Amino acid sequence: MIVLRPVLSILLLMVFAWMFVAAQTGTNYNPRDDQYKLLGLKRGLDAYTIARTEYERQKELLQRGIISRAELERSERTYREAEVNYQQAFLAVIYERRYIAIQKAVKYQSPGNQRRVRVTLANMTSGTSDIKRLLNAEESLYDLVQPDVINDVYVSLLNEAGAIISQPYETKIEALKVGEPPTIEFSLLQDVDVATVRLIYGQNQDQKRIYFQKDASSNRVAIVAEQFSQEAPLGSTAAFRMRMELFSSAENTYRLEVANLPIQLSSYFQDPQTQARITQLKYTEGVNTKNVSLNVLLPQRANDGMEIDHPIKFLVLAIPQGSDFRIDRSKPMTEEAIKALGIGYGSLELVPRGIGQLLVRSQQLYFEIKPGESVTMTMDVINEGSRWLDNIRFDADIPLNWTKTIEPNTIDRLDPTAERRITLTFVPPEDVGVGKYDIRVRATSRSDNLPIEAEPRTVTIQVTPQANVFGTAAIVLAIVGLVAGIVVFGIRLAKR
């Protein structure tokens, strides 16, 4: 028996050495483990199991005094390395199977006419339970990792340029669990139909470009004007470009109407692309947004129903085709009444502006004078515009050494269709030469702080030489004498 004990000890040491080498070999790195992570996990689990068994046996041998403390420490290091490798492989497989899906992204309009989006996310991580059963993973490790839960998920909405257009800019989901899809809401800082949903969780960043669904529960058309308030001069056309979004699943055809617009203002709807006039909108499948232009024609003159600089508030309505509701333009409508009907509408504002138009005219613009004479003429100043003219000034570009007098030189105000007459006097110098002289008369003013200038008028003055009285009398006497001689000579010939 005494002889066999050393032999058994040597055999046991050989077995343990072989198991130690096997454990060391099981932890060797295989390049294919990164490609096939599940096989790498199996390899790591086998190495971890062997190293753990070896470590437990080494502890028993140390208690029996067969091995030293140093050998146990080496076995423990091998066991701990195998445990870390196994856990890393387990996490790699779990994280590879984590996936967040966007189930819904519904765009709707809040009661305050604000565009909002409801985004529903889902944790689509799958197969973790099968991995647990297949590998017989430890319950403590499985509970610690929580493969069915994705923690700290940050969500935001981006436009095409990559800028955040959601309010709040980012929102955080503390824990996204399998089978419990949360819904988060954003306000849109930019009204778009397509956006990018950015998801950041762990070391992952995922971006998905999606098209928003429309909330069909409101069953109406939302109308948004690019410029809801405009100023337009009388006699012109104001164009309101609008974006009409369909939030309905029951109707796809809508009639366009205008309410609270004065009767003397004409209006019509137009397709901005084809320039065709339209009265109805029809939404086809997959098209939920239409661009429409409303053109409002302003009259040439203001009246009691439409005053200059006073805003006109009116409404644009999109009425379902099946509705019997009709607009009576002679009766005002309130927004509360339209809301009660559940009809989509948009509020617009138009401010009529008048523009003064300065006209200067004269019955005669050509004069002939002799040296020493002057020209006195009149001109009529007329405001042919729709707004009064302020501070009308007159001036004339006269030749050198000429003098001018304009009465009045300034008119403080001239109402629309009103006329004023001015008197202009041009005096040439005493030594003026014979010839033609052109004088340019200009009139400038302001209307609604805008400069107004009349078309210039050119006055032509022809200076003729003084007539020679004695020479003219001599020529006349010569002609009379010649005629008398001819008559006398004719009489004498007749008597012969």
Give the containing element (helix H, strand E) for 31. none
Question: What does the block give as tokens for 475?
Answer: 């020529």
Nearest-10 Cα torsion for 282, 284, 289, 291: -50
| Per-residue confidence (pLDDT) for residue 139, from 0 to 100 | 52
User: What does the pLDDT look like over 160-182, one tens digit per residue?
Assistant: 999 999 999 999 999 888 888 99
Nearest-10 Cα torsion for 144, 150, 151, 156: 170
Phi, psi of 3 (to 5 degrees): -75, -35
The CATH number of the structural domain formed by 100-214 is 2.60.40.150
The pairing of beta strand 277-278 with beta strand 220-225: unpaired
pTM strictly above 0.95: no
Domain boundaries, the chain: 4-96, 100-214, 220-353, 358-463
DSSP-derived 3-state class of residue 183: strand
Of the candidates 298, 292, 302, the residue with the CA atom closest to the CA atom of residue 267: 298
Task: Tell me the CATH number of domain 358-463, given options 2.60.40.10, 3.40.50.20, 3.20.20.10, 3.40.50.170.
Answer: 2.60.40.10
| Per-residue confidence (pLDDT) for residue 151, from 0 to 100 | 85
Topology of the domain covering 220-353? Immunoglobulin-like (2.60.40)
Phi, psi of 20 (to 5 degrees): -65, -40
d(CA 240, CA 228): 7
DSSP-derived 3-state class of residue 10: helix
Q: From first to last of its 496 residues, what are the pLDDT tens digits of the chain?
A: 333 344 334 433 343 343 334 444 444 555 555 555 556 667 777 787 888 888 888 888 888 888 888 888 888 888 888 888 877 776 666 665 578 899 989 888 777 678 889 999 998 876 555 555 555 555 555 555 566 788 889 999 999 999 999 999 999 999 888 888 999 999 999 888 899 999 998 778 889 999 888 776 667 888 888 888 998 888 889 999 999 888 876 678 899 999 999 888 899 999 998 999 999 988 887 778 889 999 999 888 777 667 888 899 999 999 988 788 888 877 888 888 888 888 888 999 999 988 888 999 999 999 999 998 999 999 999 998 888 899 999 999 999 999 999 999 999 999 888 999 999 999 999 888 899 999 999 999 998 888 999 999 999 999 998 766 666 777 888 888 888 888 877 887 777 6
d(CA 89, CA 165): 39
DSSP-derived 3-state class of residue 489: helix
Give the containing element (helix H, strand E) for 88. helix 69-96
**Residue 126 DSSP label:** -
| Per-residue confidence (pLDDT) for residue 35, from 0 to 100 | 52
Specify whether the CB–CB gap between 201 and 173 falls below 8 A.
no
Domains 100-214 and 220-353 belong to one CATH topology:
yes
Q: How far is CA 192 from CA 165, 170, 189, 455, in A?
A: 9, 18, 9, 49
